[in-house]
Structure 1
């Protein structure tokens, strides 16, 4: 009897182990979740960006956790791409991938960060609407971090975006008025020279408004990187020093192109008057002048007749030595001596327009508009 009881207990033990193993095995079966179960979505279907949205949450991408049937935490990434790159043998090959922290099921973007992704990384055109493809990638990695044999799950959506050209805050020399000239005490467009190549060379356009000349337009240049470095008179009108008094540019009043080199301690300036020269005025360098607006710091030509398909250039002082065209992306670039580069600015449609040239933000941030 005792022997029989032991046999029964042993049989029950084997059975329990068998069913326990079967149950454990069933909990370790990997099953791929459906794409729909991820519920991948965007908080906005159309995102328009500007400087005013830089500090605002403009879009949030969210989704539900992917259930692969086992007790693991998947790794998630968002991929951003152009629709034209989402098919074919190298689909999504140029996507910008953003990995999310473990356990995080959403990604919110401030305007400045999203604009940088669109304009700088994806190089979408600024000031116009584009379609953006966004893909969620859910994957199971091995403990080592390498990819496993389990295939990733993807879910894609698309939204429209309109990024803007952000002004880069280049190193600058800030204009500090002397004598009777009162200038802003903080960095202000129209009162700065900037270093677009982050070197010792600075450039900008300054308006010397005072008819009393030397006394009224005296100034110094203060480094935005080190406020203790104040550049002033270097002994001549084209030299600077860190120990001199006020600089004086002449003639005044005048609108000046100013170049300064803080290593060579030199400063050069040219009084300028800008014109629009193009197909519609026979490429005249004098018939379509631009007027400087001291309030806005911009050059403006009103009632300009332009024809679709034709081109124009911003010229200066009756010639092309100082002139501006555009590059392949449509950004305004210097096209004068000695580089002689750029592409003539194309006219998009026929009409009568106000053309604006804005040189107030310093080298690297020159812009124009046709409205």
Structure 2
């Protein structure tokens, strides 16, 4: 009888283990997930990039949706690398990655974008080089598409010179003293402006005369040569302004350097915004300060900030933890001067300069 009971117990244990194994086989982490098809490249996998076409589309990468065992959004990203970096222990660690978003199945890159990707990854200008592209899908894990190889010939950005000018309400429409927007690439100009709530209208002139100017087109963002309709800033505040005479578009995004630290009213949490002086190309603020620390940052965030390595000098360094020490309460004139050629593509310079003068 005992032998019979033991046999039944053993059979029951085997059945239990069998059921457990079957149940465990259904767990999602054991299910394989793959891209259903290869990614698609358009219009071609051989691309010669030209600076004159910088704003045109150079490459569109598309793919079919990846199905995970869990019903939830899938986040996709596109990665670029060179063939020598996609194998071995450090495979794809130097890749340039662009997150596309949840359940988005395509990503386009302009000539300008792809040129920067290629040159940043080491392909020399005017020489055909190889890039490898793949797509990443992520939910409870990451899976990757098959690689696709591209042949890309980048260009070397031309050194550009020149300015256009911005006469408007803010300075009585005198083109002779209007703010300048400096060329950052061929046909593209960048500058800065601080406006009050009423002085918002302006035009863009190609010289310090009225022989050629641009006004508004169908929308405020359109530029039309010799059009009498004024362009308008979005409202009071400081802006980074870009005008593209290749595409006949312009933009103004909120943009202001400020002082931050325990010497000013916002402490380390909120900056005191500075205003842009277009005549001296300097950011300025007059502020009541108290004893404490002071440094500079952009747009009330810590992404880009400057502090002194040596607080006895007027030179400040990007991402430096140092700060100036204000020893005496009072009203101070503070200035900040920086050489910004094109932050979007070249980043911000290693150093800037400032003055802090008690009135």
Q: Could you tell me the TM-score, scaled by structure 2's length?
A: 0.37
Could you say which structure has the greater relative contact order, defined with CA pairs below 8 angstroms and 6 or more residues apart?
A: 1
Rg (Cα) greater in structure: 1
Q: Could you tell me the TM-score, scaled by structure 1's length?
A: 0.36
Tell me which protein shows more strand as a share of its residues: 2
